Chains A and B, each alone.
Chain A
Amino acid sequence: MSNQTVLYDAPGPKARRLTLIVSIVAAALAVAGAYFAIYRPLKRNGHLTMELWGPLIDPGNENFDQLWARLAEGFRGTITAAVLAIVCSLLVGTALAVLRVQLRTVRTTPGVQVLISVLNWVTRICVEVFRGIPVVITIFFVWVGLGKVGAHDITIPLSKIGLDDLVIPTLLYTLVLGLTIYNGVVIGEILRSGMEGLPRGQREAADAIGLSTFQTIRLVLMPQAFRIMLPALISQLVVVLKDTSLGFIITYAEILRVARDTIQVLGNGIQTYVVIGAIYISMNYALSKLAEYTQRRMARARKAPRQPGGGAQPPAALAAEAQIPAGVPIKLDD
């Protein structure tokens, strides 16, 4: 029922009048509610003064430049962690998906077969466990665990090839590692269900022309799984971006952590969080729209069969079966 208007008739004169009245009443109630429940208490408690908002929105304020320089720094921290975590999660997820599909399909001598089914179970349990543990807990324990073994900054000596040495701070790779463990597993499952949802004929054809298991996965299954699961993968990017804010807990200097420090100086908690919330919402909104757009484009591509005989049928069947992993926002076309 994607067309919502099926629930009610096109409004006639009476319904239109009613709609108008209810709209006006609702709007009035919303404005009154906002005024009495939000504006008045904020005003009373002095949260609407320029003293608190100025550093954030008034370029003439003495603290404006310094504050935004700090916030930009935190923002860079967030983006760095998010990009690294996404890249690592994609790599780990792809490897995991390949491993799991390969373990399921490979057929060898009985002795090796036992080993393979054991491996199959081990990976399966790892996936279930790391998918079931909150990502905060994973990040936190990676942090204390690495602290106990005395992890320190990693320096990649690029000076030999004429560049500056690349230093990866401990907290950065701790956060990336924690995020990768969780999201790698989730992305692995997205890709695996994409590959296993493909029509059997794909694999049989690959067998028939003599491709090995690995070649089949690399050349036939994986490219299709990536394409089909692209919307789910982009939604997962939103999750990763949101989860970088957990770096706050392990004192990684991302935007919320930096904001906490500035708030301690300027005392403008709510004001700063409003601004940061707005930044997060616009970034994630753009990403979600991108996911919806890709989904629509693919739905369109699906409707136009490229070859007679309904060659484009399989993905439609798959979309219904594709499992939505926990934690992935469910995307709907509006």
Chain B
Amino acid sequence: MSALFDNLDLFAKGFWLTLQVCVLSAIGALVIGTIVAVLRISPIPPLRWLGTSYVTVFRNSPLTVVFFFAAFGLPALGSNAEFLDVPGLNLIFVRLDYDLPYFRFAVFALSLYTGAFVCEALRSGVNAVPPGQAEAARAIGLTFTQNIRHVVLPQAWRAAIVPLGSVIIAMIKNSAIAGFFGVVGDLSQVGYDLVVQQGVSVLPVFIGISAGFLVLTMPLGLLLDQFERRAVKAR
């Protein structure tokens, strides 16, 4: 078990990097998901088709394939995802400014993939708003945009919190794949390095890595359970 405590600093660093991937991807996924969700409920058919095909493509392809596309496709398009190297943001998340693009690829792939699920979670929230609300808003003459902004979305958020939370938890777990796609120093790559390269015994490393992920996923899960129970009671 000493291997667990000897490498505690490695686990802590890995945890920090995984957290960075997760925070950035969560922001990206929420932005993409909201845009796609608006596209999917918009009155203009081609925009709806665009949103629907986005969700169909990304919800049905394995994350591994999306990662491959980020790693092969972006360079083929002549980009190393430098557009993610946002000034200001790269002061906090220094990896964005790294010469190796894998961190940016990971954030890019995770955001794209999770965006589809965020869209579905938001849509389920919109579906939970009673039709009478939107009808009343229309009856008093609000336009589509006003209706969405002032009536539907504020109520949809509440119903979307639990599904959104599940999506974010799933995303945190999915971020483990990043370590197998070139990101150096996140939790899973640290685990790989310790076990495969340095031959440290398996169990302590497994405990360390798992603890890192459980610290992220479990509190969120418990929080969601709480929310859900309160929502059931309120009903």
Contacts and interface: CB of A to CB of B under 8 A. Distances in A.
Interface of A: 1-4, 6-9, 11, 15, 19, 22-23, 26-27, 30, 37-38, 41-42, 44-45, 47, 128-129, 131-137, 140-141, 144-145, 148, 238, 242-243, 245-246, 248-249, 256, 269-270, 273, 276-277, 280-281, 283-285, 288, 321, 323-330, 332
Contact of B72 (A3, A270, A329): A270
Given A248-B64, A330-B117, A332-B124, A140 B148 contact: no
A3 B135 CA distance: 11
B69 interface: yes
Interface in B46-73: 46-47, 50, 56-57, 59-65, 68-69, 72-73
B176 A136 contact: yes
Given A1-B131, A270-B69, A328-B166, 7 more contacts: A2-B127, A6-B131, A7-B152, A8-B147, A148-B201, A285-B60, A330-B166
Interface stretch (B1-9, B87-95, B102-110, B190-198): B190-198
A114 B68 CA distance: 51
Given A8-B43, A330-B120, A129 B177 contact: no
Contacts of B98: none
Contacts of B20: none
Interface string B144-174: 1001100010000000001100110110111
A187 B56 CA distance: 24
Given A277-B69, A327-B173, A332-B124, A23 B44 contact: yes
A144 B195 contact: yes
A6 B213 contact: no
B135 to A, nearest CB: 6
A238 B60 contact: yes
29 contacts: A1-B126, A1-B128, A1-B130, A3-B131, A7-B144, A7-B147, A19-B44, A22-B44, A26-B44, A26-B46, A26-B47, A27-B46, A44-B78, A133-B173, A134-B174, A141-B205, A248-B64, A270-B76, A273-B68, A281-B56, A281-B60, A283-B60, A288-B60, A327-B170, A327-B173, A329-B59, A330-B117, A330-B121, A332-B127
A145 B213 CA distance: 19
Residue among B65, B72, B217 with max Cβ neighbours from chain A (10 Å): B65
Interface string B170-194: 1011111100100000001001100
Give chain B's interface residue range (CB within 8 Å of chain A): 35 or more
B126 A276 contact: no
